[in-house]
Structure 1
Amino acid sequence: MNSAIRNHLKRLALGATLALGVTAGAQAQQASGNIMGEAVAGDTVVVHNPAIGFHREISVEKDGKYNLRRVPIGIYEVTVKHADGSQTVPTKQIRVQSGTTARVQ
């Protein structure tokens, strides 16, 4: 094998290694988990993380359960509101960890 081919193969191997490293780093930055709990059907659950500006609202299903998927890791404030807008329970804090489901009690 001549030196030109060997150098080309080395560059290809280096490029592939760098590309895999960038992909792994990007996946680590997208770490997320889930939040689930129970409330009255028709209520709205508000999930907020002021540290990162994350805010999401979800309606409680007919069975009284809610489940938020792919929530970035961190500490969240969870508030449940009745359909008429009144707060039903005090705001709770919950920690979301990568690859797990945090249950609101």
Structure 2
Amino acid sequence: MISGISKWDGSKAVNRKDYYICGDAIGDLRTTDNKLSVWKADTQEDINDAIVALALNRDSVSKLSYFLLKEEDLDKMDIKISDEQVGVAAGLDSQILTKHRDLIDLEPV
């Protein structure tokens, strides 16, 4: 989950010609052990399932922003995907929880 789309959508002014995203966005990802928790979503139903899983892990009702990443784009950036960790969302069907993924080894070598 991200805290606000304004860090990602290009609306924040960055005074560099070679920037991709605002630097605040990197801290917004809240990685743990060099892993970023994501959900596999190939269909609209998968997207809906991921949103429900994310919402179930919140303490209060609030706006939820998300974005989609293509696996081929991650491959080009040499970002690996792991399916070892099953998702956690109380009350959600175990088949949906298997759609959880981690982006691993995010740090440049």
TM-score, length-normalised on structure 1?
0.24
Larger Cα-atom Rg: 1
